[in-house]
Amino acid sequence: MSTLSVHARPGLFWFSSPQTFFPLAGRLTPWFFVIGAVLAALGLYVGFFVAPTDATQGESYRIIFIHVPAAWMSMFLYLIMAFWAALGLILNTRVSSMMATAIAPTGALMTVLALITGSLWGRPTWGTYWVWDARLTSELILLFLYLGFLALQAAIDDPRRADKAGAVLALVGVVNIPIIYFSVQWWNTLHQGSSVSLTRSPSMAATMLLGMLLMALAFWSYSIGAALHRVRSILLEREKRSEWARELRAAERLK
């Protein structure tokens, strides 16, 4: 199937063609960053000025407003990365594979943030920065999976072969996600189970939950913006000699 016949009409593979996807992603990216910034401002306001002091943890609990969103994103982004990688593997759509590659660095950074903010929260509440329990160890393994994915792809010169090898690694690593999620139930761990009912008073929990959800949506929006921004660079890097990249260059629409 030629590339031209794919992008000539809208259909199942309309957005999987680089020349359609590149300008679309470019238009969407700034909106995700703006919405992320607005939600973060609202979430921080609620988190620091509306949500009250926690009954048992004092002010240290306010780390929750970034720790939980970062930890959620580290897991969500892995699943989304594996989904696009699998799609690229099955349908042989190269934009899908590039999407997976674009998500990986942001996912790795979210995992780093979850680990660092978690250890800064663990010190005052557990008395230690790190403990080799199920939740923390499986989250560390998640970081190694992201880094392994990036290193493997960087080590293979042929982009399509790198996509396929990365997809296999990403799919095998999916097994780690339920392990992280259910680790607090399956094993005896220092990490607390539920994160939304920190106090007994329901009205307090409601504003804490609101702050956390606003921050989670902000992290979502930021992550999508970052991934879309990165995938456009990857498209240009990989397809700099293609017809559509030449056309964009001639029209001065590369930015």
Partner 1 sequence: MNWASAADFWAMGGYGFYVWGSYATVLAVVVIEIVLLRVRRRRAISEIIGGNLEMGKSTQTVGDR
In angstroms, give the least distance from the CB of 172 to partner 1. 25
In angstroms, give the least distance from the CB of 202 to partner 1. 19
Q: Give the separation between CA 75 and CA 139, rounded to whole angstroms.
A: 9
Nearer to partner 1, 162 or 174 (CB): 162
Q: Please give the residue ranges that form the binding site for partner 1 (CB under 8 A).
A: 1-3, 6, 13, 16-17, 48-49, 51-53, 58-60, 62-63, 66-67, 70, 91-94, 105-106, 109, 112-113, 116-117, 120-121, 123-124, 160, 222, 226, 229-230, 232-233, 236-237, 239-242, 245-246, 249, 254-255
Q: Which residues of 44-64 are buried (b: 16+ CB within 10 A; e: fewer)?
A: bebbeeebeebeebeeebbbb
In angstroms, give the least distance from the CB of 251 to partner 1. 12
Nearer to partner 1, 94 or 135 (CB): 94
Amino acid found at 255: K
In angstroms, give the least distance from the CB of 187 to partner 1. 25
In angstroms, give the least distance from the CB of 196 to partner 1. 19
Nearer to partner 1, 57 or 187 (CB): 57
Q: Give the separation between CA 123 and CA 125, rounded to whole angstroms.
A: 6
Nearer to partner 1, 54 or 174 (CB): 54
Nearer to partner 1, 122 or 173 (CB): 122
